[in-house]
Amino acid sequence: MSVPLQRPIYLDCQATTPVDPKVVAAMLPYFTDCPGNPSSNNHLYGWEAKAAVDLARETLAEFIGATPRELVFTSGATEANNLAIKGVAEAYLTKGRHLITMQTEHNAVLEPCKYLEKLGFEVTYLPPQADGLLDLANLEQAIRPDTILVSVMAANNEIGVLQPISQIGQICHQHKVLLHTDAAQAIGKIPLNVEAMHIDLLSITGHKLYGPKGIGALYIRNRNPHVQVAAQLQGGGQEYNVRSGTLPTPQIVGLAKAIELGVAEQTVEAQRLTQLRNQLWQTLQTLGDIHLNGHPQQRLPGCLSASVAGVEGAALLLALQPYVALSSGSACASSKPSPSHVLTALGRSSTLAQSTLRFGLGRFTTSAEIEQAAHHVMQTIQRLRAGLTVLPMENERLNQL
């Protein structure tokens, strides 16, 4: 079997992103020359590490309109989501046991909610509209006197839809209900301001924005109102006793640098990625019987989810593997044979949901790569629709047809 000489074109940036070389450069000294523990306050190495962590905290706070004291570092967005949801549920146990979220949330939100249901909490899972957006009237109707938390992600990880977080926040605050948003896909890609958007808790991660894996943060509002969160990890009392554990200085520095770069390039990069995404979608539409998932405009610039009729999803992804690296949905659920819960919530049939391609364009994606990827995808789909077997080893001959 012959093997392609080049690596596949990487179009799976919703799953993860390559670390930017500038981020790597910022992190390197804290692996070697400055190896101290930020909690070691008796010598130079500890002071260096603490200074780096403090600066990173200030940087992150500035970019989301928070104060440094309101940021707690975590291992990523999954831990931040768990801390926010379980921590609020435990802290506000005497106020109420009702939470609200959406059917299209990431499993890092849905699974903690299901866990709480086993403990006697009640969770309302609101359906999306056909375009993936939350119906604000449905949200307001769902709020009850015993509702303590609403959790709605800022940008969906599968279809890229951007929820109207500011309006959701206004509704929540009018009813004195806390708002949590999973901003893992949104941070550094769209403007975020916790004050202007009425956000009480916000989860972020580094690896979706050209930063390192294994690091994230949770914003916890400390003023108007002062939000209480029960710790889920006990130990040395780091992070204001909210999240114990030795702080990973290199990753924290990398997280701050990644978001700094993302915010600095946000406007220009959004325009570039939107142009590339539209270029790809216009080309794919010529196939016919291909369906865009989610709102056509209110979406992340670099995300395109499309369901392809007339092909078997597994065969399509298998045929594309050597040439284009992409997925059908969430990387966290890629090993599961069942169709995406996000797409089924939008009303897609099981067959169409499983024949979906999610294109994740990123900082290092070029126009030439989009042209090549579109070419491979289109010719592969045409062959599959024609009933011709397309195996990875045969894909090299597609250009000759």
**Catalytic sites, residue numbers:** 332
CA distance to 79, 106, 271, 365, 373, per residue, from 276 (Å) = 33, 26, 9, 9, 12
For tokens 């130990």, name the residue: 235
Residue 275 falls in which region: left (phi positive, over 0), alpha (psi -120 to 50) or beta: alpha
Q: Which distant-in-sequence residues (6+ apart) come within 8 Å of 368 by Cβ?
A: none
Which one, of 145, 154, 150, 104, lies nearest residue 124 by Cα? 150
| 320, burial (CB in 10 Å: exposed 0-12, middle 13-18, buried 19+) | buried
Give the CB-side neighbour count of residue 383, counting CA atoms within 13 A. 22
CA pair distance 9, 365, nearest whole angstrom: 9
CA pair distance 4, 292, nearest whole angstrom: 30
Whether 182 and 105 have beta carbons less than 8 Å apart is answered as: yes
Please report, as a single letter, which amino acid is at residue 37: N
